[in-house]
Amino acid sequence: MLEFNNSTPLTLGVELELMIVNRRDYNLTRGSDDLLLLIDRQPHGYDIKPEITQGMIEIGTAIHQGSDTMLQELQGIRALLVSSAQKLNLGLAGGGSHPFQHWSEQQIYPKERYQLVSELYGYLAKQFTVYGQHIHIGCPDGDAAIRLSHYLARYIPHFIALSASSPFYQGMDTLFQTSRLTSVNAFPLSGCMPCVENWTQFNEYFQHMAGLGIVASMKDFYWDIRPKPEYGTVEIRICDTPLDIVTPTLLAAYAQMLAHRCLEDGWHDIQAAHYHTYNYNRFQACRFGFDGVLVDGAARQQTGLQEDLLSTLNALQPQARALNCEKELSLLRERALKRQSDSQWLRAIYRASGSLSEVVRRQSEHWMYGSNA
């Protein structure tokens, strides 16, 4: 049985996967061990750890009531990382995928779980050198976590469009706003959670899958949204890692406002029919971002993604007031109105320079030294 460790509702945490690049041509480099060794020589108390390949590093925040204190912690983590990276002549960058690295050149990090993933999934493990943001939202119990997971599925295209930062992959412009999710889609247990209605049903599903030898833990599910019972949270896993440290806090605030509405309203409209258009809407967001078209199967109508996002943000004003995040709501609305995305910014740099190395240099400088506002 999976026990859900109840947590304070609506508390927040984020995890960010970052690129480690050399300062010569800004390709990925196997720098995670050296960077971690240097960081750990000084007491810091931050959650900084390796990821599946050696050109990656993951940072995680503590538990926060809101995005203001989360941003302060991310600033502290960034300062520590930048100081250590400079001593090693390494660069760090956000973004959902490195524009020109080749998956065959990546090395699996020597950790037991990553080695097992590599043995099971073969080349997919190295292709998983992509970079995402995960958002954790505290839930009072397992039943609430199941309801919130289903509720948030409707808004996944919004998170994709707001975080999109991986237009280039393997040296090519993919024409997608986010190419990262195609690497995630290759895993057999990706996609969305089954249409269970409560924690008891979820446990029955998990036991069934474990009994078949398909999964051993929750980590084996690569779903876009999943309960995280050991933390007492719901985890949104769909976002690209943004190019700065402000955007992750805005995305967390958006998740918090939606969760507030879900839990306060007692939403329980869990239906398999809601997922009939899930993959199509997800694709539209990945391919076209704010210009995507969303299909409402129940209403049998189509709506522009930008229009749908702006309508949702306008409706969340009461939640923004209750959570004291009206500033974050305003910034999200401004970005949606301008169709402002990291992918757009990266493409503009490439058009001006004609160099993907220059693109990575700029995105590294932006993450390491960019504005906090």
Quote the CA–CA distance of 274 and 297 in Å, as a whole number: 7
Q: Above 60 in pLDDT, residue 372?
A: no
* Residues sharing a CB contact under 8 Å with residue 288, sequence separation 6 or more, in sequence order: 177, 305
Q: Which token pair is 165?
A: 């930062």
DSSP for residue 301: E
356 three-state secondary structure: helix
120 three-state secondary structure: helix
CA 334 to chain CA mean position, Å: 21
Residue-wise pLDDT tens digits, 206-236? 999 999 999 999 999 999 999 999 999 999 9
Q: Above 50 in pLDDT, residue 143?
A: yes
Q: Percent of the chain having pLDDT more than 90?
A: 97
- The pLDDT of residue 72 is 97
Residue-wise pLDDT tens digits, 81-91? 999 999 999 99
- The pLDDT of residue 371 is 52
280 three-state secondary structure: helix
Asked if 7 contacts 231 with a C-beta cutoff of 8 angstroms, the reply is: yes
- The pLDDT of residue 305 is 98
- The pLDDT of residue 299 is 86
pLDDT-derived band at 298, boundaries 50, 70, 90:
confident
Identify the residue with better confidence: 327 or 298.
Answer: 327
Average confidence score pLDDT of the chain: 96
- The pLDDT of residue 220 is 93
Q: What is the mean pLDDT of residues 248-270?
A: 97
Q: What is the mean pLDDT of residues 268-285?
A: 96
CA 291 to chain CA mean position, Å: 20
Residue 361's φ and ψ, nearest 5 degrees, are -60, -45
Q: Pinpoint the alpha helices (H) of the chain.
A: 32-39, 67-87, 112-121, 123-127, 142-153, 156-163, 180-185, 199-211, 247-265, 278-288, 305-315, 317-323, 326-338, 342-353, 356-369
* Residues sharing a CB contact under 8 Å with residue 257, sequence separation 6 or more, in sequence order: 316, 319, 320, 323, 325, 329
Q: Does domain 12-369 have CATH number 3.30.590.20?
A: yes
Q: Above 70 in pLDDT, residue 373?
A: no
Quote the CA–CA distance of 354 and 348 in Å, as a whole number: 10
- The pLDDT of residue 150 is 98
108 three-state secondary structure: strand
Residue-wise pLDDT tens digits, 59-83? 999 999 999 999 999 999 999 999 9
- The structure tokens 């690049």 sit at 21
Plot region of 339 (φ>0 → left; ψ -120 to 50 → alpha; else → beta): left
Q: Above 80 in pLDDT, residue 170?
A: yes
